[in-house]
Structure 1
């Protein structure tokens, strides 16, 4: 007899949206959307629209369905299951303001343990996966396997990210909009099992039982798996910074085929002191990409604020321009876009830009686009930035004695630990719905299952571009 539990604690990732429609005719798995919207809203919205990017729908609701069909077909062709996957889906108002929004959320409706053919006893599996393994539908009669919600206000109202609505085309040309198909692929993955059922904020197993996810999470500081930890150990591991990895064979075997060399800031020089050595960075979506031929120069901080920080949001003073000319400029995050800072520094003659994060979050990429930017740019975490500033206190007006090289570490893969296991998202400040159930934000190329949807995603879930499906294979798909 199987044990089943409704998973009402949360709906899963707080990043993007949800579901899908029917799987394609030749799909190995049929994925069916259960439309829970009422008349004239969501999938039933009759607002006239023009076809866009291969999406031929003539109403907003029809285009949403077609986009869902596209995401469902991709997952349907990828997965193998004799049991159709049902997704209860709706468009409804979700939290939103002019600068940010909950795009949506999705997750397993029920979890099961000790069902026929369960690979591990006394272990929770999400409903869709458990049904695949049992070769019979385990869901409560009339119940969907996945529940998903989508923000119906996004980009359509002035108080909800105006101008940044969902792009409903199928051609990956979202521009400044948010690619709905990529979001759907992401959220479907959560519902299929790319999520943890243990409470990461307390470390407590759901109803005292571990999930299959807990067998593959490992804290790299002690090489201890979550399934073997105590509650408080798991809680601390979830906020341990870049110290949580995925220890799955399927992902590990293909990581080197997907991820590129890790970008780094290499610091040296007579005055570098304790800051010497390689530092993790997030690279930029604009400007030249980092490679084996590093860009090198003395590191010089911009100081244009009364508190000693440097924002580089307005043209540099003659003193600051003289300091960064021919060198690598160190600036602080805030007050203007990254591309604005880069243009100003480039105009002042800087060879590169290093941005210091202003929060305790792990390093992440620098977003933005500007073809006029020709210098490389990276972001470092706040602790590294403070360390670099401290060793440059006694610099002269044109020299710091600290050399910075912007390049890559040929011996490391981006987003991985020292033994090349991909790291999971575990910021020092717990992020409900995002921590632990996503890949690290410093993978390169960007992965579908990072906690934010990036503009360079290609609607792929498989190697050689993406590591989403290999992780689902690790847990049993």
Structure 2
């Protein structure tokens, strides 16, 4: 092992110092591959490299410079990086991955006993490298991106100016993955809830399930596994992130609020539509009535509504089931029948509810998607309705008191989709955040090269866990 590590260190690309930290990229690639690819390329977007390998290195150094300028550590941080063939198709790809190579707990200077810290952070807190022969972070990136069968024709953009167009900006991906390696993750198994060697991660001291009032470190394995799929109920309970969210996230989050009867009152997550008017505040309040046009108790609204269904939804919020035709067809039929808004209940389990795609400039009523679970609960509550009235009233709009991506108390939501998504669940911010954040589970095209407020919340979370 020592001989192998010596060989890796001999491939050291560069070590650049900044005011706050020194980050070194260690090249683990074979000759002619990745950082060592001699393919000639033209300079692009401030990246003056003249070979593909050199431009990749320059992008790595740009991301390292950003993090080096943001963190405070007297111990150099070493990132062992390689370019490899990662899972990829023309419609989906693993862009890269990174994580701590080692974790430590209960070391001198640890701010929290009985908690795992990633190696880079543990070294910073202790003041020296606890294992000098092992790099701190292991990073892998997709060498095939843009090749046939792997986002064909859309490679990483290697410029440093974020002018990536339709391609994927490499510096943004690197900022994201380096953050994971620096500690933006739990070392607890999010599928089983099992702690690593029986010890919680420092992450688990801040991960709060608002439905139970427990943080992950205080839960049993089964409780953690259940919590990992509670979309909208899993939040980051750290002061730094909560305070910074007021500067970063916009006021207003789309919600469906059930107003009455009291037994059904509550707030439901919604996926907004790409067509029709945007949701607004104070929103639209109306009585909810279901469409029932398909046996045994389903309403698809794929054909013009019958006279009976039209009378039921006229002047009301129509509840329709997903399936068999497009969203715009369903909403147009409800609109033609006089509905003032539409709720489309998903036909597959999962949360949070995705948006509604489609285009129809003739649609002028609001529409949203709700989960299959919430749709079933609403239909159950509507089971005792009359032909014209249900007694179930709801408001569909934007709650300006809640920032997009937080709960009602201002705590930032964490990604907890149902079903679980290994590698993405729990260790990312929720996709409801607006504007988009660097540490969401997928890279968004509108991200800046930023890790701190007023544009991003990555650095505040690292500060919460001890950086």
CA distance in 2, matches of 1:424, 1:415: 8
Q: How does 1:433-452 map to 2 (within 5 A)?
A: 433-452=423-442
Task: Give 1:157's aligned residue.
Answer: 148
Query: Is 2:138 the partner of 1:147?
Result: yes
Query: Is 2:461 the partner of 1:471?
Result: yes
Work out whether residues 189 and 468 of structure 1, in 8 Å CA contact, stay in contact via their aligned partners in 2.
Answer: yes
Q: Deviations over 1:131-158 (max 9, x none)?
A: 11111122342x2100011122223122
Task: Give 2:65's aligned residue.
Answer: 73
Task: Give 1:416's aligned residue.
Answer: 406
Work out whether residues 202 and 235 of structure 1, in 8 Å CA contact, stay in contact via their aligned partners in 2.
Answer: yes
Q: How far did 1:77 drift?
A: 1.5
Larger radius of gyration: 2
Q: How far did 1:387 drift?
A: 4.0
Q: Which moved more, 1:60-69 or 1:340-349?
A: 340-349
Q: How far did 1:188 drift?
A: 0.8
Work out whether residues 309 and 332 of structure 1, in 8 Å CA contact, stay in contact via their aligned partners in 2.
Answer: yes
Unpaired stretches in structure 2, ≥5 consecutive residues: 1-12
Query: Is 2:109 the partner of 1:97?
Result: no
Task: Give 2:78's aligned residue.
Answer: 86
2:373 to 364, 383, 405: 383
What RMSD over aligned residues (CA atoms) do the two structures have, in Å? 4.0
Task: Give 1:216's aligned residue.
Answer: 206
- Aligned residue pair count: 447
CA gap 1:188/1:365 in 2 versus in 1, 3 angstroms: farther
2:449 to 459, 471, 476: 459
Task: Give 2:420's aligned residue.
Answer: 430
Q: Deviations over 1:435-471 (max 9, x none)?
A: 2211222222222212222233222211222211111
2:412 aligned counterpart, secondary structure: coil
Q: How far did 1:99 drift?
A: 2.7
Q: TM-score with structure 2 length normalisation?
A: 0.79
CA distance in 1, matches of 2:66, 2:358: 29
CA gap 1:42/1:287 in 2 versus in 1, 3 angstroms: farther
Task: Give 2:351's aligned residue.
Answer: 362
CA distance in 2, matches of 1:284, 1:411: 22
Task: Give 2:118's aligned residue.
Answer: 126
Q: How does 1:45-56 map to 2 (within 5 A)?
A: 45-56=37-48
Work out whether residues 232 and 413 of structure 2, in 8 Å CA contact, stay in contact via their aligned partners in 1.
Answer: yes
Q: How far did 1:72 drift?
A: 1.7
CA distance in 1, matches of 2:274, 2:175: 22
1:279 aligned counterpart, secondary structure: strand
Work out whether residues 363 and 379 of structure 1, in 8 Å CA contact, stay in contact via their aligned partners in 2.
Answer: no
Task: Give 1:264's aligned residue.
Answer: 255
1:385 aligned counterpart, secondary structure: helix
CA distance in 2, matches of 1:44, 1:91: 10
Work out whether residues 282 and 442 of structure 1, in 8 Å CA contact, stay in contact via their aligned partners in 2.
Answer: no
Task: Give 2:196's aligned residue.
Answer: 206
Q: Deviations over 1:302-356 (max 9, x none)?
A: 89999987889xxx75559x969998776666799xxx85599579879876554
Work out whether residues 351 and 419 of structure 2, in 8 Å CA contact, stay in contact via their aligned partners in 1.
Answer: no
Task: Give 2:271's aligned residue.
Answer: 282
CA distance in 2, matches of 1:392, 1:410: 29
Task: Give 2:223's aligned residue.
Answer: 233
Work out whether residues 322 and 344 of structure 2, in 8 Å CA contact, stay in contact via their aligned partners in 1.
Answer: yes
Task: Give 1:185's aligned residue.
Answer: 175
CA distance in 2, matches of 1:80, 1:276: 47
2:283 to 278, 294, 299: 294
CA distance in 1, matches of 2:322, 2:79: 41
Q: How far did 1:23 drift?
A: 7.6
Task: Give 1:3's aligned residue.
Answer: none
Work out whether residues 187 and 195 of structure 2, in 8 Å CA contact, stay in contact via their aligned partners in 1.
Answer: yes
CA gap 1:275/1:230 in 2 versus in 1, 3 angstroms: closer
CA gap 1:366/1:77 in 2 versus in 1, 3 angstroms: farther
CA distance in 2, matches of 1:370, 1:65: 42
Q: How does 1:9-20 map to 2 (within 5 A)?
A: none
Q: Which moved more, 1:232-241 or 1:346-355?
A: 346-355
Q: Which moved more, 1:445-454 or 1:59-68?
A: 59-68
Unpaired stretches in structure 1, ≥5 consecutive residues: 1-20
CA distance in 2, matches of 1:427, 1:294: 27
Q: TM-score with structure 1 length normalisation?
A: 0.77
Work out whether residues 258 and 395 of structure 2, in 8 Å CA contact, stay in contact via their aligned partners in 1.
Answer: yes
2:375 aligned counterpart, secondary structure: helix
Q: How far did 1:227 drift?
A: 2.1
